[in-house]
Chain A
């Protein structure tokens, strides 16, 4: 089911009423949060390492023009090709043209958020090429016709029963709810896809400017197969995902794996520099690096530049009480969770209700607390909210309410009267200490949550009573 045609509030509603999703999210985020905390806690100097990671990201961004030129020059020196793509259309055209000119019929893909961002698969399929996602989670959602709900665990919203049914239909395997046979069936089916593929498309975790190399981390081995087996390898990299030196990886990879899954290192880290060398038995004959801008070069100059430090670990998603409740699909864009609420308005401005995403946060700060590069996500969300208001993107009732609130707060008599009125109303609506449904327009608040009943006594009444007691006692 595609939830993308729905309004943000309806997507949230759908998610909150999906009991299966809530269970899956609970299980996944609890595990991720615990694993991360354990792995970060075991470091000799976790704070120092995160400070270093932040400094290295800032250093790379401060010289992004120069580092990208160096990266491109060195990739070309090793026999690779570089495509500078201003937007998704250019990137898609380059890859589709390449596929056409090389007679490519079948493509295997490993995980790439950048390719999701530009909807690459649809473009390639329109060009008549078969595209298979090979990360197990990505494969599951591809055959289910859905989109990822988590940066690093794209299919966490699926139960084993649902996956079993999908595999029965698409892989012709006997019905089962056991995971091991599903894993074997997927390995077998996808292995044949690898061996028959003409082209492999991967994402990039880091470009290494000095070496003309790209770094890809993963746990399954599908990215290794994608980048080693087919004749052509195309790597898509957001232009901000760069480091200067190979040695910088000794900081970045350590914080990435620990923040993402709590591993010390991901199972496989591939550092790839150009196509196969002469005399090499395997590896691609052609290597293409697509450098995707898609708005990033502009973001770098504005008040959201810090968002470009993100290394896509997913820790802020797991830590976020809003994400824990609604999951990734409700955000509507490719990037979800706190950093998604920042990135989506910036990178996918075509999404109709993207300005609502920065409101999907209680600004509790858990995201910044766990971020390996310490991005001040709550600050960025506040600025995005302010921008949306300045652009006139707010509900008229919201404006009236805020104005009313301002008047009330400036006038003690109105404030008291308002409090008395609200408590009277709340008493009528209260059921077992909670209010399940508020009248319009406040009903939006109680669509997915209860409102706590108001206490019988206001704070100022309590305070006055306390003062009276003190004076008499």
Chain B
């Protein structure tokens, strides 16, 4: 009932103002720019620099082996016995399962749905490290783009004080426009069929709500580590 009422109001309103709105709409092109800053020569360097400005850490490495070394060190430094992670197949880093097993690091069961949800959430809460892949990463803003859905829990980049993300050089794009175009190209109209939650992460959680003092990690991870292969 309210639906019809609101729609009828909108139509009456648009009868008088649509011509003006259409004129404003035509005043500029609609196609989004692929990126908005002067293009950098080296996307890896740009990504690392932007992430560093946000207090995130990037580790450009040569290969999977070196990536595993970095991840192993980060886990050791945090004395991590558990991690909350994407399905390892979705992270696509050969040797990751062996690395975790070798250190006695167990993968927590991320499933919280159904009865007992709050108890399972409490079990996940103390986890020291989150581990995920990405769908792409944006060089000019230092952002990670993650499609969440089956095998890719949302909390696996959110709950713990440390988030480690594995990114391939081939996943780097210049700007947000390019990132969204890439997702569209890969998934077409079905982008949100398996994805319930598309998340852009641009550095560690931050707030300036107390006297404009910048503080990290108020709710999300205070530490974001990006291993860039």
Using a CB–CB cutoff of 8 Å, the interface residues on chain A facing chain B are: 24, 27-28, 31, 42-45, 48-49, 51-52, 54-56, 58-59, 61-62, 64-65, 68-69, 72, 78, 84-86, 90, 134-137, 140, 153-156, 158-160, 163, 179-180, 182-183, 186-187, 190-191, 195-196, 211-213, 219-222, 224-225, 227-229, 231, 239, 246-251, 253-254, 263-283, 285, 291, 293, 297-302, 305
Interface pair B10/A283, CB less than 8 Å apart: no
Instruction: Give the residue name and chain of the B residue nearest to A180 (CB).
Output: B215
With both beta carbons as reference points, the residue of chain A lying nearest to B157 in the complex is identified as: A224
User: In the complex the two chains form, is A52's CB within 8 Å of B30's CB?
Assistant: yes
Q: Does B155 contact A (CB under 8 A)?
A: yes
Min CB–CB distance A163 → chain B (angstroms): 5
- Give 8 pairs: A residue, B residue, CB < 8 Å, sorted on A: A54-B27, A55-B28, A64-B14, A135-B209, A211-B192, A277-B149, A293-B2, A305-B20
CB distance from B201 to the nearest CB of A (A): 6
**Contact of A281 with B153 at beta-carbon distance under 8 Å, contacts A68-B7, A221-B158, A248-B30 already known:** yes
> Is B73 part of the binding interface, using a Cβ–Cβ cutoff of 8 Å?
no
Residue on A nearest B154 in the bound complex, by CB: A228
C-alpha spacing A265/B204, complex, angstroms: 12
Which residues of the other chain, A, contact B111 by a CB distance below 8 angstroms?
Answer: 281-282
Tell me if B43 is interfacial: C-beta within 8 Å of chain A: no
Apart from the given pairs A59-B22, A263-B202, A264-B140, 19 other A-B contacts in the complex at a CB distance below 8 Å: A45-B33, A55-B24, A64-B10, A64-B14, A68-B6, A72-B3, A220-B205, A220-B220, A222-B219, A225-B219, A273-B192, A273-B195, A280-B153, A281-B112, A281-B153, A293-B2, A298-B13, A305-B13, A305-B20
Q: What is the CB-to-nearest-CB distance from A217 to chain B, in angstroms, rounded to a whole number?
A: 9
Within 8 Å CB of B113, what residues of A? 276, 280-282, 285
* In the complex with contacts A68-B10, A220-B206, A265-B176 CB distance below 8 A: yes
Q: Does chain A have a CB within 8 A of B199?
A: yes
Most A CB contacts (10 A, CB to CB) among B7, B15, B31 go to B7
Q: Taking CB as reference atom, which chain B residue is nearest A297?
A: B9
The answer to whether B140 and A55 touch across the interface, beta carbons within 8 angstroms, is no
Contact B210 A195 (CB under 8 A): no
A264 touches B202 (CB 8 A): yes
Min Cβ gap B76→A in Å is 24
B196 contacts A31, C-beta separation under 8 Å: no
Residues of B with C-beta under 8 A to A196: 118
Contacts of A140 in B (CB 8 A): 209-210
Identify which of residues 1-40 in chain B touch chain A, using a CB-to-CB cut-off of 8 Å.
2-3, 5-7, 9-18, 20-22, 24-34, 36-38
Interface size of B as a range? 35 or more
Q: How far is A228 from B112 in the complex, measured between Cα atoms in Å?
A: 11
A447 and B110 CA atoms in complex are apart in Å by 61
Instruction: Give the interface segment out of B57-65, B95-103, B164-172, B177-185.
Output: B177-185
Tell me whether A301 and B13 are in contact in the complex, defined as CB-CB below 8 angstroms, given that A267-B201, A268-B201, A277-B149 are known contacts: yes
Chain A residues, Cβ within 8 Å of B180: 246-247, 249-250
Q: In whole angstroms, how far apart are the Cα atoms of A160 and B142 in the complex?
A: 31
- Bound-state CA distance A267–B138 (Å) is 13
**Would you give the shortest CB distance from A60 to chain B, in whole angstroms?**
9
Whether B36 lies near A297 (C-beta < 8 A) is no
B36 close to A43 (CB less than 8 A): yes
A58-B154 in contact (CB<8A): no
Choose from B17, B110, B155, B206 the contact partner of A267 (Cβ within 8 Å). B206
Q: Which residues of B contact A58 (CB under 8 A)?
A: 21-22, 24-25, 27
Measured between beta carbons, the chain B residues less than 8 angstroms from A31 are 212
B37 touches A43 (CB 8 A): yes
User: Contact between B198 and A224 (Cβ–Cβ < 8 Å)?
Assistant: no
State whether the Cβ of B132 lies closer than 8 Å to any Cβ in chain A: no
Q: Knowing A155-B209, A179-B211, A300-B10, say if A266 contacts B202 (CB, 8 Å).
A: yes
> Is B207 part of the binding interface, using a Cβ–Cβ cutoff of 8 Å?
yes
As a 0/1 sequence over residues 213 to 226 of chain B, the CB contacts with chain A under 8 angstroms (1 = contact) are 10101111100000
Q: Is there contact, CB below 8 Å, between A272 and B197?
A: yes
Tell me, rounded to whole Å, the shortest Cβ–Cβ distance linking B75 to chain A: 21
- Determine which of A84, A154, A228, A247 lies in contact with B209 in the assembled complex, contact meaning CB atoms within 8 Å: A154
Interface centre among B6, B155, B183, B204 (most CB of A within 10 A): B6
With both chains docked as a complex, state the minimum distance between the C-beta of B10 and any C-beta of chain A, in angstroms. 4
B32's partner among A54, A187, A247 (CB-CB below 8 A) is A247
In the bound complex, CA of A274 to CA of B193 (Å): 10
User: Is B41 an interface position by the 8 A CB rule?
Assistant: no
The smallest beta-carbon distance between B157 and chain A, in angstroms, is: 9
Q: Which residue of B lies closest to A186 (CB)?
A: B218
- Could you tell me if A247 and B2 are in contact, using CB atoms closer than 8 angstroms? no
B52 to chain A, nearest CB (A): 13
Of all chain B residues, the one with the shortest Cβ separation from A309 is: B24
The 8 Å CB contact of B33, one of A250, A277, A300, is A250
Q: Are B210 and A271 in contact (CB under 8 A)?
A: no
**Are A224 and B202 in contact, with the CB atoms below 8 A?**
no
Q: How far is the CA of A219 from the CA of B31 in the complex (A)?
A: 27
Contact partner of B6 (CB less than 8 A), chosen from A84, A155, A265, A285, is A84
User: B199 touches which one: A246, A268, A273 (CB < 8 A)?
Assistant: A268
Say how far B147's CB is from chain A's closest CB, in angstroms.
10
**A154 vs B125: C-alpha distance in the bound complex, in angstroms?**
28
Residue with the highest number of chain A CB atoms closer than 10 Å, among B191, B203, B220, B221: B220
Residues of A with C-beta under 8 A to B9: 293, 297-298, 300-301
By beta carbon, the residue of chain A nearest B221 is: A221
State A347–B6 Cα separation when bound (angstroms).
15
Residues of B within 8 A of A247 (CB): 31-32, 177, 180-181, 184
Of the candidates B117, B194, B199, B211, which one forms a contact with A27 in the assembled complex, judged by CB atoms under 8 Å apart? Answer: B211
How far is B30's CA from A56's CA once the two chains are assembled, in angstroms?
A: 6
B162 interface hit (Cβ, 8 Å): no
Are A265 and B28 within 8 A (Cβ)?
Answer: no
**Is A283 a contact partner of B148 (Cβ separation < 8 A)?**
yes
Chain B nearest CB: distance from A419 CB in Å? 44
